[in-house]
Amino acid sequence: MIRNESGYECVIQTLRTANVLWRESRRFFRPFGISEAQFNVLNLLGQSPEGMSQRELSDRLLVDRSNVTLLLDRMEKKGWIVRHDVPGDRRVYRVILTRTGKALWQRILPSYHRTVEGIVRGLSASDIRSSMQTLKAIELQSTKWK
């Protein structure tokens, strides 16, 4: 017998929703020839014209840090980003969008925004804030659970 049935159902529903969003995001990005993680990099760098260090990207991305180098390698081969040495620190690279990467990001972004708007259509601002608070609380609690 589960002691907190509603808590269990909340976690299961969160996982179901995450799976649906993950599946649909793969479907959304496929025609652009890009993955969700690659779009996240483009999106972060598109909002930071001066670029970001690999460490900053790792901290803000929704992927495991161990995958960031490989992710950036692939994106660099496609001509979407460049990595520059940081003077005075040979361990640090500054990652910057190329013109090609910026053009791709700008081509995807309007459609992405329309899709997100469609997903949350029908939810009030209050519903969205409440959902975000709940999801953040679940995230925080799950990190303490270990």
- The whole-number pLDDT of residue 2 equals 59
Crossing angle, helix 36-46 and helix 99-120, to 10 degrees? Answer: 110
Taking residues 21-37, what's their average pLDDT?
A: 94
Over the stretch 43-102, which tens digit does the pLDDT of each residue have?
999 999 899 988 889 888 867 777 898 999 999 999 999 998 878 777 778 899 999 999
- The whole-number pLDDT of residue 59 equals 86
pLDDT band with cut points at 50, 70 and 90 for residue 16: very high
In whole angstroms, how far apart are CA 81 and each of 6, 70, 71, 78, 84?
A: 45, 13, 11, 8, 10
φ/ψ of 122, rounded to 5, equals: 95, -10
* Run of H or E including 85: strand 81-86
Architecture of domain 35-112: Orthogonal Bundle (1.10)
Contact 72, 95 (CB under 8 A): yes
> Cβ-count burial of 25 within 10 angstroms (0-12 exposed, 13-18 middle, 19+ buried)?
middle
- The whole-number pLDDT of residue 89 equals 74
